[in-house]
Amino acid sequence: MSELEKAFRKFAMYGDTAATGNDMTGKNFSKMLKDCGVMDGKGVTSTDVDIVFNKVKTKGARTINFGEFQQAVKELCGKRFKGKSPEEALQAVYALMEGKEPANVGVTM
């Protein structure tokens, strides 16, 4: 399992004790992109993230799998890293995500 897939699974299970880590909700997709610095509010906004999520998910579904996640990231990477080739932009976004875990800012335990 790649570092990217491990990060996907951690964020997919975030906040849901019953989650398997195979599918990610739109809320967790948005959180992952924000926590990893992909969604910066300038090049990539929350609106962009929501649009891409709805574009890649199966019609009627509420979650995306890892393959759909990769497709969504591919669509967003050009917005985040303008001026880089598609492959360079994709690798730059993957580098931001690899090895990351959900941040629990403001959460009391």
Q: State residue 106's pLDDT score.
A: 58
Q: Do the Cβ atoms of 63 and 14 come closer than 8 Å?
A: no
| Residue 104 located in a structural domain | no
Amino acid at 88: E
| Residue 33 located in a structural domain | yes
55-73, pLDDT tens digit by residue? 999 999 999 999 999 999 9
| Residue 102 located in a structural domain | no
- Show the domain range for 29: 3-97
Q: Do the Cβ atoms of 87 and 77 come closer than 8 Å?
A: no
DSSP for 28-92, written as a single string: HHHHHHHHTTS--SSSS-HHHHHHHHHHHSPTT-SEE-HHHHHHHHHHHHHHHSTTS-HHHHHHH
| Residue 109 located in a structural domain | no
Give the percent of the chain with pLDDT over 70. 95
Given a cut of 80, is residue 105 above it in pLDDT?
A: no
- Report angle CA 57, 70, 107 to the nearest 5 degrees: 80
- How many distinct structural domains can be found in the chain? 1
Q: State residue 104's pLDDT score.
A: 78
| Residue 29 located in a structural domain | yes
| Residue 108 located in a structural domain | no
> Taking the model in full, what pTM does it have?
0.90
Adjacent-strand bridge partners of 63: 25
Adjacent-strand bridge partners of 24: 64
Give the tokens for residue 105: 């800012």
Average pLDDT over residues 22-51: 96
Average pLDDT over residues 7-30: 95
CATH, residue 17: 1.10.238.10
| Residue 105 located in a structural domain | no
| Residue 63 located in a structural domain | yes
Residue tagged 């809320």 (tokens): 27
Amino acid at 105: V
